[in-house]
Structure 1
Amino acid sequence: MSELPGAAVSLAEAPAPADTPSESPSAQRVQPLRRPGRWIVTAVVLVLVAQILHGLVTNPFYQWDRFRYWFLRPTVLDGLLVTLEVAALSAVLGLLGGILLALARLSGSPVLRAVSWTYTWLFRSVPLIVVLIFLYNFSALYKTLSLGVPFGPAFVTFDESRLATDMTIAVIGLSLNEAAYAAEVVRGGILSVDQGQHEAAAALGLPQGYRFRRIVFPQALRSITPNYVNQLIGLVKSTSLVFYVSLLDLFGAVQSMGSTYPGDVVPLLMVATVWYLILTSAVSVVQFYVERYYARGATRTLPPTPLQKARAGLADLRARLSREAAV
């Protein structure tokens, strides 16, 4: 077969395809997506944060020298210990009461459900300061308390005013209030467990108490923990109200010193603010590790700890610097 003149083209002279890259893939660099809006917003936020910090540091109204003087004073530390004691006791008693109320709310007894619902409704409706003041004046309503047959003889009688110390009133008031909110948190966590877990445990013939302790409640804690930690943070801040029942906690100690030293009111309030920030931050750290513990089996990989994040960031920075040096 004859060839047309000029039709034969050597392979060396054939033009390269249009989509053939001029460089090898290893020599090409991926260009990051430009986000000018993000950089503008970041710059504005950094400027605002710098202005706030500059105002805090340079404003003489805060009296940072007096802040340093009061921060570790024995009076303030004694009030801090009272705050920790009240918060710890109220958190434990409130959680136990909340678990009992949640189980009563989920029980098959209409009486238990009605009592649990009424308790939760009542203490979530009444302000905490009203509960504390009411308990503080409880001896005026009931001078003696007794145990016995209703409308009949009393077996044990004791004086309420001797038992109800300021610490007892504060712990009882906070625990009663905390139990109402913890009950809803616990009930929501139990209801979040898949119904198949209940059915599978029942099919195995496991006792009801064992099913709750070993199967249902550990899974419910994944939902309970973050919500209840929010309650704990609110509880730590609510301890400042016990000052109104004559208990000198952290806020009470600051208020007392502020009355004695009127010129140091602002630095004393800053002392209380910083201590509350420290306490709530410590609770948040505990929350992270508790959530991480109960996340086992629910996620493929556990969330990294702050130390692991720092190590990964350093490794990524080293790899980036080595790539730039190689180029």
Structure 2
Amino acid sequence: MTWNNIVEFVPILLDGAVLTIAITLGSLVISTPLAILWLLLKRSRVKAVSTLASAIINVVRGLPMIVLLFYVYFVFPDIGIQLSSIESAIAGLAFAYSTYLAEVFRSGLESVDPGQLEAAKSLGMTRTKAMIRVVFPQAFRVALPPYSSTIVMMLKDSAIASTIAVSEITREGQLIAASTFQNMTVYTLVALFYLAMSLPMMHLTSVLERRFGRHDKN
């Protein structure tokens, strides 16, 4: 490992890191509202709707992330949906993680004592107003730490986009290593880049767990 190699490789890997962050943010923006939709469907009073939503969530969570990504990238064109590799990466990650986030949000809602909703309604609030003012803030406190942890997982899982030739940081590292044979230097730098991106988020998660965790005594 030499300094000259590091200086040469870092700008290339930095471009890949920027794309990694873009994929993560794009997936997050799509997966969060989609997760809320899954949650609403799962809690629907229509039995067929809630059963179907639960089945889809369980099936998606039971499949490897890379299989979902391949399905979006290779199968969707057969049914007339043509996506670029980056679009496929974002769509695959977003769809997969929406099911995980739906369960995070569900656990947050179920952590709130149902009696609080009834108490709010007894004070004259409508169900909607009671949910917004009483239930959702408390559910948010519980769901926020695991939600933050899921974002870190999403960042790391964005590496599977390299399997469909997306030039994120892992893919860039593979190309550099294949052409220079500087495996130790390249993959050490890749690891350091991932740590630089994920450690601050992990620290934030720890702070949120202390501040908003369900076991917070303050």
Q: Give the TM-score, by structure 1 length.
A: 0.61
Higher relative contact order (CA 8 A, sep 6+): 2
CA distance in 1: counterparts of 2:86 and 2:129, whole angstroms: 36
Q: Who wins on radius of gyration, i.e. which is larger?
A: 1
1:94 Cα deviation (Å)?
1.4
Structure 1 partner of 2:55: 118
1:256 Cα deviation (Å)?
1.1
CA distance in 2: counterparts of 1:125 and 1:206, whole angstroms: 40
Residue by residue over 1:63-86, the C-alpha shift from the partner in whole angstroms, topping out at 9 and shown as x without a partner, is 26366325632x111110110011
Q: How does 1:87-106 map to 2 (within 5 A)?
A: 87-106=24-43
1:293 Cα deviation (Å)?
5.8
- Paired residues of 1:190 and 1:220 also in contact (CA < 8 A): yes
Structure 1 partner of 2:94: 175
Identity, % of aligned pairs? 24
1:290 Cα deviation (Å)?
4.2
Structure 1 partner of 2:124: 205
Structure 1 partner of 2:146: 227
1:195 Cα deviation (Å)?
1.7
Whichever residue aligns with residue 195 of structure 2, its letter is L
- Paired residues of 1:233 and 1:280 also in contact (CA < 8 A): yes
Q: How does 1:49-68 map to 2 (within 5 A)?
A: 63=1, 65=3, 68=6
For the residue of structure 2 that corresponds to 1:72, the secondary structure is helix
1:275 aligned to 2:213?
no
Q: How many pairs align?
A: 216
1:281 Cα deviation (Å)?
1.2
Residue by residue over 1:111-156, the C-alpha shift from the partner in whole angstroms, topping out at 9 and shown as x without a partner, is 221121011111111111111111111344213xxxxxxxxxxxxx
Residue by residue over 1:166-221, the C-alpha shift from the partner in whole angstroms, topping out at 9 and shown as x without a partner, is 22111100001001111111111100011221111221232333322222121112
Cα distance change of structure 1 residues 67 and 284 upon mapping to structure 2, 3 Å threshold: farther
- Paired residues of 1:93 and 1:175 also in contact (CA < 8 A): yes
Match of 2:70 among 101, 123, 133: 133
1:218 aligned to 2:137?
yes
CA distance in 1: counterparts of 2:2 and 2:137, whole angstroms: 47
CA distance in 2: counterparts of 1:167 and 1:248, whole angstroms: 9
Whichever residue aligns with residue 102 of structure 1, its letter is L
- Paired residues of 2:85 and 2:165 also in contact (CA < 8 A): yes
- Paired residues of 1:218 and 1:294 also in contact (CA < 8 A): no
Structure 2 partner of 1:10: none
TM-align CA RMSD: 2.0
Structure 2 partner of 1:320: none
